[in-house]
């Protein structure tokens, strides 16, 4: 078992509560719950409540993530963040982490299952690259409360596909009217009910269709991966992604 950690939950919404359940189940202690709106949580990040905290788990919303991360890094706390929709600020956040000799690990999807899925997609795309008559698209479905689209995971999968298929050179997002250029990869999204997250890659020709789908059954996989990331990060300094964690895991 990894060392027992003192954790802070920054964001005590759906993910915060699932993180608590998984972290406690793995022998960790929740020292602080910080949330602007949730009962039972304190509203602000302050030095006092973070004194004994080893790692902060930041799962809030796109407009809050950057300020939260910078504040926590300034306070010298290692941060695992799963909030999506702020990646246009990645370079400035990375520069800040390096300048402060801080520790940050971010991922658009912490689920070990999605990591396996992305590896499968990458290998499938390596093959599809040799067969010009196949087209490819991505569709993702999430619950209707999700604030960003497409999902961070769909964008990551899109980058994998562009990297592997030479004839795909751009991405078209959202509801697109008109003919999709052959060189474009369409990434579409739908929002419905309480779906935790489904990502499908369709590979299609006039003769057949191959569909690769990852379906999250609940938030458990995300939370497990994020707690594993905290266990991995707590004694390190630097700027990391979940790829670094899985890489070490696979080489054990
Ligand atoms: P949620 O809406 O249930 O909870 C977010 C909470 O953050 C809310 O309770 C809100 O009050 C709080 N919050 C907002 N701004 C805050 C701030 N400045 N300080 C403190 N609290 C603040 O959402 P959720 O389902 O828990 O998801 C949270 C984020 O995590 C979203 O961006 C979502 O896309 C992302 N997510 C990532 C993964 C992953 O694996 N990376 C998995 C699931 C969700």
Provide the CATH number for the domain around residue 127: 3.30.360.10
User: Rounded distance, CA 145 to CA 62, Å?
Assistant: 13
Pair of tokens at residue 168? 């795909």
Q: Are residues 208 and 121 in the same domain?
A: yes
Q: Is residue 208 over pLDDT 70? A: yes
Q: Are residues 104 and 227 in the same domain?
A: yes
Handedness of CA 197, 203, 208, 212 (dihedral sign): negative
pTM of the model: 0.87
Tell how far the Cα of 44 is from the centroid of ligand 1, in angstroms: 15
User: Rounded distance, CA 102 to CA 144, Å?
Assistant: 35
Tell how far the Cα of 61 is from the centroid of ligand 1, in angstroms: 5
pLDDT-derived band at 147 (thresholds 50, 70, 90) equals confident
Tell how far the Cα of 16 is from the centroid of ligand 1, in angstroms: 7
101 Ramachandran zone, left/alpha/beta (phi>0; psi -120 to 50): left
Q: Are residues 51 and 80 in the same domain?
A: yes
Our answer on whether the CB atom of 108 is closer than 6 Å to any ligand 1 atom is yes
Q: Are residues 20 and 76 in the same domain?
A: yes
Atom 31 of ligand 1 has which residue's CA nearest to it?
83
Is residue 144 assigned to a domain? yes
Peptide bond into 150 cis (omega under 30): yes
Which pLDDT tens digit goes with each residue over 111-125? Answer: 999 999 999 999 999
Domain encompassing residue 244? 6-110+219-250
Which pLDDT tens digit goes with each residue over 219-230? Answer: 999 999 999 999
146 is catalytic: yes
Q: Are residues 198 and 154 in the same domain?
A: yes
Q: Are residues 120 and 211 in the same domain?
A: yes
From 142, 168, 199, 214, the catalytic residue: 142
Our answer on whether the CB atom of 151 is closer than 6 Å to any ligand 1 atom is no
pLDDT-derived band at 63 (thresholds 50, 70, 90) equals very high
């Amino acid at each position: 078992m990894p060392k027992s950690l003192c954790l802070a939950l920054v964001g005590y919404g759906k993910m915060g509560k699932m993180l608590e359940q998984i972290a406690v189940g793995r022998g960790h202690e929740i020292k602080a719950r910080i949330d602007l709106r949730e009962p039972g949580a304190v509203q602000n990040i302050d030095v006092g409540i973070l004194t004994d905290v080893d790692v902060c788990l930041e799962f809030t919303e796109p407009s809050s993530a950057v300020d939260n991360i910078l504040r926590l890094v300034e306070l010298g706390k290692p941060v695992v963040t799963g909030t999506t929709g702020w990646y246009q600020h990645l370079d400035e956040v990375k520069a800040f982490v390096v300048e402060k000799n801080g520790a940050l690990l971010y991922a658009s999807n912490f689920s070990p299952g999605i990591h396996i899925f992305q590896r499968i997609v990458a290998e499938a795309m390596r093959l599809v690259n040799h067969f010009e008559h196949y087209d490819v698209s991505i569709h993702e479905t999430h619950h209707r409360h999700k604030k960003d689209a497409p999902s961070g995971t769909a964008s990551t999968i899109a980058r994998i596909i562009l990297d592997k298929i030479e004839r795909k050179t751009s991405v078209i997002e959202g509801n697109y009217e008109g003919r999709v250029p052959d060189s474009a990869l369409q990434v579409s999204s739908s929002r419905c009910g309480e779906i935790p997250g489904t990502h499908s890659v369709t590979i299609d020709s006039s003769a057949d269709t191959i569909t690769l789908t990852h379906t999250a059954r609940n938030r458990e996989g995300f939370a497990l991966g994020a707690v594993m990331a905290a266990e991995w990060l707590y004694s390190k300094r630097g700027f990391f992604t979940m790829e670094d964690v899985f890489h070490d895991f696979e080489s054990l």
